[in-house]
Structure 1
Amino acid sequence: MKYYLLILFLVFNSCNYFDKQIPSEKELLQKELNAIDWNEVDEYPSFVDCNKMETKLERQHCFFEYLATLIQEKIRMDSLATLYPELDTIAVKVTVYPSSKMKFEPQFPKDSVAYDVMQIDSILHARLIDFPKVSPAIKRGIPVKTQFILPVIIKAEP
Structure 2
Amino acid sequence: MRRACYFLLLLMVSCQYFETEKVDADTLFEQEMATINWDEVDQYPLFPNCDETQDKATQLRCFHRELSGSISEVLHDSVPGMVQSLRDTVWMDMRIDTSGVFSIKNVKMDSITEVQLPRLESWLKSALVNMQPVSPATKKGVPVATEYTLPLVLATN
Return the TM-score normalized by structure 1. 0.82
Q: Please name the residue that 2:58 is paired with.
A: 58
Q: Give ranges in structure 2 of 5+ residues lacking alignment.
A: none
Q: 2:111 aligns with which of 107, 110, 113?
A: 113
Moved more, 113-122 or 55-64: 113-122
- Runs of 4 or more above 6 Å deviation: none
Return the TM-score normalized by structure 2. 0.83
Q: Give ranges in structure 1 of 5+ residues lacking alignment.
A: none
| CA apart distance, 1:14 | 2.3
Cα gap change, 1:150/1:59 in structure 2, threshold over 3 Å: closer, same or farther?
Answer: same
Cα gap change, 1:85/1:127 in structure 2, threshold over 3 Å: closer, same or farther?
Answer: farther
Distance in structure 1 (CA, Å) of the matches to 2:141 and 2:80: 40
| Alpha carbons 1:81, 1:155 under 8 Å: kept | no
> Are 1:132 and 2:132 matched, yes or no?
yes
Q: Please name the residue that 1:32 is paired with.
A: 32
| CA apart distance, 1:28 | 1.0
List aligned pairs for 1:41-52, cutoff 5 A: 41-51=41-51
| CA apart distance, 1:85 | 3.6
Q: Please name the residue that 2:155 is paired with.
A: 155
**Amino acid paired to 2:75:** I
| Alpha carbons 1:105, 1:121 under 8 Å: kept | no
Cα RMSD for the two superposed structures: 2.5
Distance in structure 2 (CA, Å) of the matches to 1:6 and 1:61: 71
